[in-house]
């Protein structure tokens, strides 16, 4: 079975957009782990079915932005866009 890192590397070559999404998923997984939350607990906090969280974390599903935002919010995180051409205080926060 392929690991999450294996899937990331394949995506980096094949589809840069999906690679970025999976990088975000990796950060969400790390936050869930740090907070010692089970997928079931995250499901209850986010409203995203546990089965969907499992499929995302194993790379079987590529989540939509709406799903990433719900998961991030449930973990107390923000998804932020930073314009490298502008000072940080003018960057956009997505949630």
Distance CA 59, CA 77 (A): 21
pLDDT digits (tens, 9 = 90+) for 11-65: 777 887 888 898 899 999 999 999 999 999 999 999 999 999 999 999 899 999 9
The pTM (predicted TM-score) of the whole model is 0.77
Distance CA 34, CA 60 (A): 23
| Cα R_g (the chain), whole angstroms | 14
For position 81, what pLDDT does the model report? 78
CATH number of the domain where residue 88 is located: 1.10.260.40
For position 19, what pLDDT does the model report? 82
Count CB atoms within 10 A of the CB of residue 38: 11
For position 16, what pLDDT does the model report? 79
How many domains, the chain? 1
For position 11, what pLDDT does the model report? 73
Q: What is the DSSP string of 45-72?
A: HH---HHHHHHHHTTSS---HHHHHHHH
């Amino acid at each position: 079975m392929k690991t999450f890192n294996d899937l990331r590397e394949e995506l980096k070559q094949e589809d840069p957009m999906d690679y970025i999404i999976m990088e975000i998923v990796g950060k969400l997984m790390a936050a869930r782990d740090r907070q010692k939350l089970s997928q079931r607990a995250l499901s209850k906090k986010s409203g995203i079915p546990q089965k969907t969280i499992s499929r995302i974390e194993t790379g079987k599903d590529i989540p939509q932005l709406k799903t990433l935002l719900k998961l991030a919010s449930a973990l107390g995180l923000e998804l932020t866009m930073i314009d490298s051409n502008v000072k940080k205080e003018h960057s956009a926060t997505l949630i």
